[in-house]
Chains A and B, each alone.
Chain A
Amino acid sequence: MSWGAIVFRAGAFAALLILIRHAWRIEGARAGGTFVAYLTGFACFREWLVSRIAIMKHDRLPYVPEPGLGHVGPVNIVVVAGWVFTALLSFALAKMIQRRNFPGTNVFLTLVLTALISTTIAYAVEVTGTRIPLWKWTNPQPASWLPFECPFDIFDAWGTTSFVIIGIYCAVRFRLFAQRASRRVAANVALLAVFWGAVFAVKWFGEGPPHQKVVLVYVTLSAILGFTAPRWMLGSSVTALGVPPQQPAPQAAADRP
């Protein structure tokens, strides 16, 4: 293993521990521990599922991690740690950006920002990680509009997974979508159905734009809800996220007597 890979792993491990401490401190021991455990479980499930889908489609895995990274069956430990790290950092940064720059918006905009941040982390990590190399893409289709030959799949994989992972967490934690439990469950099932529908639609639509349009649709919908969602959809997230209420624009405030 190259010493670049060793530095990468050491840095990522230290940063992950610091972020877990942040979740622990901000959310409390129980909620923070549950959040990290949930992220780890979901990341393991996703890794397992990606390998299962590849087997079902009689296809190769979309990416092959370096064998020395350590794995339990099809679940690669470093990749799972990467998912947890990215989700934690993206969610924390998204909340900070929102509090500072988007007062009066809600948790749905937090999800959009989380997805956006996770794509920027993924882009930087992929550019370096594939060159060390920590993993290899079996069929890389580079994004034509970005430098350094980064596979377009990362925008789909990292952005979507962060969006869905954190979306489900917020839906359960903050009781989003409805006051009645049965409606909340129905809304969460619908969210998951859209996600897995998009994943399995690859089989019919093929890789590339049609699949990614599904992703774009629900990120766009979330952005619209981020500005317009009614109070009853937001559950306890309004106070829990700490986003300040909307302030009048500077000009409007100046006009007021």
Chain B
Amino acid sequence: MTLGSLVREHWEVAAAAAILIGVLIFIDAASLGEPVLALSLLPLVFLVTAAFVPLTPRRAGIWIGCMVLLAFATREIRYAGLAYPALIVWILLIIHRARQNRA
């Protein structure tokens, strides 16, 4: 199934997620004046993306790597914690792949 047809089929889910993310970014940046808070959306953005784009352990690993790089670049080690859904999904994908190979 292509991305376009998936979005058309579940447009309400895509729209609701987009509204949530858009509203929170808008409030963080415009109302609170702290655009850095929008980074808190990264775990959700990862999972919304995973709903529409096929994931592989490698892609999840790249996401985790990006969060770790962000943490090192900003010297705020807690930014690495934003990778927690990617880490869990990565573990699940590894288990799933291992079971597929065994089958």
Q: Is A116 an interface residue (CB 8 A)?
A: yes
- Given A19-B13, A127-B40, A131-B37, decide whether A249 and B100 contact each other with a Cβ distance below 8 A: yes
Q: How large is the interface on B (under 10, 10 to 19, 20 to 34, 35 or more residues)?
A: 35 or more
Q: Is B88 an interface residue (CB 8 A)?
A: yes
Bound Cα distance from A121 to B24, whole angstroms: 11
Q: Are B40 and A123 in touch, CB under 8 angstroms?
A: yes
Query: Which A residues are in CB contact (< 8 Å) with B96?
Result: 101-102, 104-105, 227
Q: Is B61 an interface residue (CB 8 A)?
A: no
Q: Is A72 an interface residue (CB 8 A)?
A: no
Q: Are B55 and A128 in touch, CB under 8 angstroms?
A: no
Closest Cβ–Cβ distance, residue B76 to chain A (whole Å): 6
Query: Which B residues are in CB contact (< 8 Å) with A124?
Result: 20-21, 24, 40-41, 43-44
Question: Chain B: which residue is nearest A20 at the CB level?
Answer: B12
Interface majority SS on A: helix, strand, loop or mixed?
helix
Query: Which B residues are in CB contact (< 8 Å) with A4?
Result: 27, 30-32
Which residues of B approach A to under 8 Å, CB–CB?
Answer: 6, 10, 12-13, 15-17, 19-24, 26-28, 30-32, 34, 37, 39-41, 43-44, 46-48, 50-55, 76, 78-79, 81-82, 84-85, 88-89, 92-93, 95-97, 99-101, 103
